[in-house]
Amino acid sequence: MYKQVIILRRDLKLSKGKAAVQACHAAVHAFELANWYVIKNWEQSGAKKVVLAVDSEEEILKLHKEAKKLKLPCYLVKDAGLTEIPAGTITALGIGPEEEKKIDKLTRKLKPF
């Protein structure tokens, strides 16, 4: 099985619309970095996506560093600062698509957003 995980920062208290947009940025850009073979298998198995939360910038940066170390396709979103938060604020992290067991090593303890 395959999945994609989107991690959002709960501490920013983003509006629902802003959180949705940040999640979309993370999902699309992480997808662009994934292996073609994995993408095809992920799509054929339902394109599973899970949205999880962290409570700080430090947590999301640590997860990003670990995802890169595990060679998972990942993308860290930094906001443009045009609406709710200052430019450069780290808002989201997209990981995958990739095999669930590989992503779960990193994200299994996180709670839903």
| Domains of the chain listed by start with CATH number | 2-112 (3.40.1490.10)
pTM of structure: 0.96
With a CB cutoff of 8 Å and minimum separation 6, the contacts of 10 are: 53, 54, 55, 113
Q: Alpha helices, DSSP H only, in the chain?
A: 16-33, 36-44, 57-69, 100-107
Per-residue pLDDT tens digits for 22-59? 999 999 999 999 999 999 999 999 999 999 999 999 99
For residue 4, the model assigns a pLDDT of 98
The predicted model gives 79-91 an average pLDDT of 95
For residue 110, the model assigns a pLDDT of 98
For residue 111, the model assigns a pLDDT of 97
Per the listing, tokens 């999902």 go with 27
Peptide bond into 97 cis (omega under 30): yes
For residue 73, the model assigns a pLDDT of 98
